[in-house]
Chains A and B, each alone.
Chain A
Amino acid sequence: MSDVLSLSLAEALEGLKNKDFSARELAETHVKAAEAINPALNCFTVIDGDRAIEMASASDARIAKGEAGLLEGAPLAIKDLYAVQGVNTEACSNILKGFKPEYESTVTQKLWDQGAVFLGKTNMDEFAMGSSNETSAHGPVINPWRKTGSDENLVPGGSSGGAASALAAGVSYGSTGTDTGGSIRQPAAFTGLVGVKPTYGRCSRWGIVAFASSLDHPGPFAKTVKDSAILTQAMSGYDPKDSTSYPGEVPNWIEAVGQSVKGLRIGVPKEYSVDGMPEDIAKLWAQGVDWLKAAGCEIVDVSLPMTKYALPAYYIIAPAEASSNLARYDGMRYGVRVEGEDLADTYEKTRAAGFGAEVQRRVLMGTYVLSAGYYDAYYVRALKVRRKILEDFNNAFTQVDALLTPTTPSAAFGIGAKANASPLEMYLNDIFTVTANIAGVPAMSVPAGLDKDGLPLGLQIITKALDEATMFKVGAALEDAAGFTAKPQAWWA
């Protein structure tokens, strides 16, 4: 049965429909595989075999009755940020240790409603703060990819590193992630996967532990662009419980995959050509432009002049919101409490023990930028930059239908490689992805090639708000042209 692990989601759904195998068989195989890889990759925080088999059996019953949903019988891995009823939901933080919600996040509920099978919770940077999945209370996640001929462990990227690693290792048919500054697209690029961040408001944030509310985007990891469209389709839709949820209909994106891109205008923003960009990435980007040109797209040079201010603005807005969003973790109602001499002491001890260094750093930064006397200089100015970045995109999208950029400024790096660097160096990982979060526009990363060391690289497609259809179309064209089929060597087996 282990060959089913190499199937794409679409292929597996087809196989289930044709009764080539049962959902239960798929679940059993995946649970076993997940348990086998986890000691090496540390990508799961919870593997719930009992629930997977129970849900898969129910799927088999529905398939038999001809009542299959869009994802019927497909085992999926869920980022630990999503509340799954009765399952530890800790945002990979000590402060939420043992927290089992009595509620189900809207997005996971949508997945189960479509027949998906819950495989487990995936490891992530604590509260989604990180770009290498090294800040988790459960320890770092290991990337299944290694440099050719090397046994050095690499990071899978972050913050949704476990979701990426598990899928890249072939133990699920899709994973949910969240993307606040690149936390889906960057790990997708580092692990040779497709990662999608739809328009802000497409996927409800209800039941997902908040990092930075105005920037948090739920979205999927997938093996193929088509799989990513199926998953995004299932995850999206208006939710009255989230005031920022988009109330419009969800178009059929699955149909968009494979449609012609002829005549589409593709913008190449000059500001993404940064100093020190590895040659492999510059080459791949140019290659991507050629592929799309060959597919009939018109290539247009565009300018997004505010790009260089995106990262500084992001590192004001995101920590500011986080400092407030994380105030509820005070040890009073759930999670960990460390008793102190008085109330203030209890708060301080609890939060000192519960939050890791990166989370503490961001809470401090956020508190600082919102403080009296600094608010205008930092927060208000960052919001102005945010409006300007949105204007940049609006201007660009009067000239082009989509933008093509590299996803990351580098391939995956070694575990601990940036441990002694300044936090700023780690933050630079998000330099190409963060603008789409600031503007709320849809963006995806598509695996497009390998670098000289044999590590995967991704290209990013950005479209205007609510135009995911064009994004999936271009993504599929790129996927076709790239013909990316490389898989990591199963060194962990």
Chain B
Amino acid sequence: MTATDTGYIIHGMKGDWEVVMGLEVHAQVQSQAKLFSGAATAFGADPNTQVSLVDAAMPGMLPVINKECVAQAVRTGLGLNAQINPHSRFDRKNYFYPDLPQGYQISQFSDPIVGEGEIECEREDGSRFVVGIERLHLEQDAGKSIHDLDPNATYVDLNRSGVALMEIVSKPHIRTPDEASAYVAKLRAILRYLGTCGGDMEKGQLRADVNVSVCPVGGYAKFRETGDFKHLGTRCEIKNVNSLRFIRQAIEYEANRQVEIIEEGGKIDQETRLFDAGTGVTRSMRSKEDAHDYRYFPDPDLLPLILEEDFIAAIKASLPELPDEKRKRFVEELGLTDYDASVLVSDKDRADYFEAVLEGRDAKLAANWVNNELFGRLNKEGLSITQSPINPQQLGKIVELISKEVISGKIAKDLFEIVWEEGGDPEAIVEDRGMKQVTDTGAIEAVVDQLIADNPDQAAKVKDKPKTMGWFVGQVMKAMQGKANPQAVNDILTKKLLD
């Protein structure tokens, strides 16, 4: 795809500009304990209740690597089709802040655990694009400073201090606000499939820093051709954007801001900026000149991290099916459309729900019911799939009742409504409330005969205008409370009225 194919061009006063982005995503590792201490990581605990002596940086305390966090990083690396580095190490990143008790963050600077990889993402129109992964490294989260409890004091909650984060750095392969949010959504889906990160942006489990630059149209293609960053503009980093919508808004604002400055003859300063969700603008946080000198150096309290081949192989062997593989399987083996399959696999909970509905049932029907009926209703009520009042077993039974022609599609919608509102076993409800479809041709024939007898003129018309048979279909359905098998009704009417 060439540079302009993305269609995202900023038409300035003096020319056309394209936008280039790279993201740094901080994903909280799903683990019981912190990266270098045994303290718990549960969300929402009372302040400073999940703090070990190590997390509080008491004198003489030492970090010990949590093997599970290492396994999670390797698992994630494999899920990102990335190089796993058998030899990596931890460095100290030194700076002072009250929510950083040690005075340094243990991170991986020069030798990350995971190297280059790539993932395929989907735009809103269903087209796909590939984003290169530069690296993934493990690091500690900081604590939380709380400024609004007291006008004169800042409080510090160290529960988060030392929690394991994976920083996943993309290459500058992202070209539009939509692509940026699609990338994060895909990354989130992969992490959730792998079980390596909860991915809840509201809880801060996933946070994105967005690097944005603009260049005259054509610059990006030259960059991709040569790998030379001089073809790209100077980037600004927007820190800690915490929703997909904000990512899109922040990029739009920031790209336009940069174009304006350049067109007015100004220069973009490499700097760190903050996105203000309230006003939708980005503000300068610190310039390159004010940037910290972090004085990275290898942490002498930790040995280099050496991964045995067997360790990596065992993780590889235990990887779950990931969204892309699942989508392929849904299309190839279940015969779903690419669109339906993509929608289903986009979120792990949705895919899991669908597969639980499926259980050997009609895949297309199941996909249709999950994607349209269920999600239509959930979206209307503002519920997530995990909050659905109908569980997959119930929806599965509804699908099964349809495909076994026990109920009609129309009755199924009523049934769905009943199960949604009241719960219960769909099969029993159909039985108890007499919702079964009537396929007994004798019963249908009796109704048809009666109708023809009562409406002879109408019946005669059908021979000339076959479309008017629809009136009879409606009347039969009405007489039978919608339970008649539509195909059987059609067959009988055709025989009686047209033959």
Contacts and interface: CB of A to CB of B under 8 A. Distances in A.
A327 B96 contact: yes
Interface stretch (A99-107, A183-191, A229-237, A419-427): A99-107
B63 A324 contact: no
B295 interface: yes
B60 interface: yes
Contact of A243 (B62, B94, B295, B297): B62
Interface in A175-194: none
A176 to B, nearest CB: 13
Contacts of A370: 94, 295-297
- Which one of B57, B59, B302 has the highest number of Cβ atoms from chain A below 10 Å of its Cβ? B59
Interface string A234-259: 00000011111000000000000000
A477 interface: no
A334 interface: yes
B477 to A, nearest CB: 74
Interface in B341-356: none
A326 B103 CA distance: 8
B62 A205 contact: yes
Contacts, number: 97
A307 interface: no
A320 B302 CA distance: 16
B98 interface: yes
Interface stretch (A158-166, A208-216, A284-292, A354-362): A208-216
A91 B59 contact: yes
A240 B60 CA distance: 14
Interface string A340-374: 00011001000000000000000000010011100
B480 to A, nearest CB: 75
A99 B59 contact: yes
B62 A206 contact: yes
Contact of A332 (B59, B101, B297): B101
A101 B302 contact: no
A452 interface: no
Given A328-B101, A330-B103, A370-B297, A243 B53 contact: no
B183 interface: no
A89 B60 CA distance: 10
Contacts of A105: 60
Interface residues of B, number: 28
A145 interface: no
B65 interface: yes
A372 B64 contact: no
B295 A213 contact: no
Interface in B98-121: 98, 101-104
Contact of B65 (A243, A321, A326): A243
Interface in A70-109: 82-83, 89, 91, 96, 99, 101-103, 105
A379 B63 CA distance: 23
B42 interface: no
Contacts of B63: 243
Nearest to B158: A333
Nearest to B302: A243
A84 to B, nearest CB: 11
Main secondary structure of the interface of A (DSSP, over half): loop
A442 interface: no
Contacts of A343: 98
B95 to A, nearest CB: 9
Contacts of B59: 83, 89, 91, 96, 99, 101, 209-210, 328, 334
A207 interface: yes
A142 B295 CA distance: 39
Contacts of A213: 300-301
Interface in A379-424: 379
B443 interface: no
Given A91-B59, A324-B94, A371-B293, A240 B102 contact: no
Interface residues of A, number: 44
Contacts of A206: 60-62
Interface string B218-253: 000000000000000000000000000000000000
A324 B296 CA distance: 10
Nearest to B92: A324
Contacts of A210: 59-60, 301
Given A213-B301, A328-B57, A241 B62 contact: yes
B383 interface: no
A102 B52 CA distance: 12
A463 B190 CA distance: 53
Contacts of A332: 98, 101, 156
B418 interface: no
B104 A103 contact: no
B87 to A, nearest CB: 16
A344 B61 CA distance: 25
A334 B58 contact: yes
Given A324-B92, A324-B94, A324-B104, A244 B303 contact: yes
Contacts of A207: 60-61
A458 B36 CA distance: 41
A328 B102 contact: yes
Given A209-B59, A209-B60, A324 B297 contact: yes
Contacts of B297: 320-321, 324, 370, 375, 379
Contacts of A243: 62-65, 301-303
Interface in B373-406: none
B56 interface: yes
Given A105-B60, A209-B59, A244 B293 contact: no
A347 B64 contact: no
B105 to A, nearest CB: 11
Contacts of A372: 293, 295
A371 B94 CA distance: 10
A109 B98 CA distance: 31
Contact of A333 (B56, B64, B94): B56
A103 B293 contact: no
Interface in B34-60: 53, 56-60
A371 B62 contact: no
A283 B415 CA distance: 104
Contacts of B53: 102-103
A152 B101 CA distance: 45
Nearest to B90: A243
B58 A101 contact: yes
Contacts of B57: 328, 333
* Residue in B98, B156, B296, B297 with the greatest tally of chain A CB atoms within 10 Å: B297
Contacts of B60: 82-83, 101, 103, 105, 205-210
Interface in B52-89: 53, 56-65
A244 B107 CA distance: 18
Given A243-B65, A330-B103, A333-B101, A324 B56 contact: no
A379 B295 CA distance: 11
Contacts of A82: 60
A205 B60 CA distance: 7
Nearest to A105: B60
Nearest to B94: A324
Nearest to B97: A343
Nearest to A321: B300
A102 to B, nearest CB: 8
Interface of A: 82-83, 89, 91, 96, 99, 101-103, 105, 205-210, 212-214, 240-244, 320-321, 323-324, 326-328, 330, 332-334, 343-344, 347, 367, 370-372, 375, 379
Interface of B: 53, 56-65, 92, 94, 96, 98, 101-104, 156, 293, 295-297, 300-303
11 contacts: A205-B60, A207-B60, A210-B301, A242-B64, A243-B64, A243-B65, A244-B301, A327-B103, A328-B103, A343-B98, A372-B295
3 closest A-B pairs by beta carbon, nearest first, are A327-B103, A213-B300, A370-B295
Given A82-B60, A207-B60, A243-B64, 15 more contacts: A206-B60, A207-B61, A208-B60, A241-B62, A242-B62, A244-B303, A323-B295, A328-B101, A330-B96, A333-B58, A370-B297, A371-B293, A371-B295, A372-B295, A375-B295
